[in-house]
Amino acid sequence: MTTPEELIQTDLSDRVLTIRINRPAKKNALTLAMYEGLTAALNRAGADDEVRAVLITGGPACFTAGNDLMDFLNAPPTSADSPVVQFLPTLRAFTKPLVAAVCGVAIGIGTTLLLHCDLAYAGTNARFHLPFVDLGLVPEAGSSLLLPQMLGQRRAAELLMLAEPFGPEQALAMGFVNGVFEPEEVEEVARSKALLLAAKAPTALRETKRLMKAAQAELMAKTMDAELAVFGAQLQGPEAAEALQAFFEKRKPDFSKMG
203 is a domain residue: no
232 is a domain residue: no
Q: How far is CA 22 from CA 116, 158, 218, in A?
A: 21, 31, 33
Q: Do β-strands 98-102 and 53-57 pair in parallel, antiparallel, or remain unpaired?
A: parallel
What is the span of the domain harbouring residue 46?
Answer: 4-182
pLDDT tens, the chain, 259 aa long: 566 679 999 999 999 999 999 999 999 999 999 999 999 999 999 999 999 999 999 999 999 999 998 887 777 777 778 898 899 999 999 999 999 999 999 999 999 999 999 999 999 999 999 999 999 999 999 999 999 999 999 999 999 999 999 999 999 999 999 999 999 999 999 999 999 999 999 999 999 999 999 999 999 999 999 999 999 899 889 999 999 899 889 999 999 988 7
Q: Do β-strands 8-13 and 16-21 pair in parallel, antiparallel, or remain unpaired?
A: antiparallel
Amino acid (1-letter code) at residue 65: A
CA distance 169 to 232: 33
190 is a domain residue: no
The pLDDT value given to residue 4 = 66
CA distance 75 to 162: 28
16 is a domain residue: yes
Number of domains in the chain: 1
The helix-helix angle for 217-235 and 202-214 (nearest 10°) equals 70
Backbone angles phi, psi at 231, to 5 degrees: -55, -50
Cβ atoms within 10 Å, residue 27: 19
CA distance 156 to 79: 28
193 is a domain residue: no
The pLDDT value given to residue 3 = 67
258 is a domain residue: no
CA distance 76 to 232: 7
Which domain CATH number covers 43?
A: 3.90.226.10
Residue 150 in contact with residue 175, Cβ under 8 Å?
Answer: yes
212 is a domain residue: no
The pLDDT value given to residue 140 = 95
196 is a domain residue: no
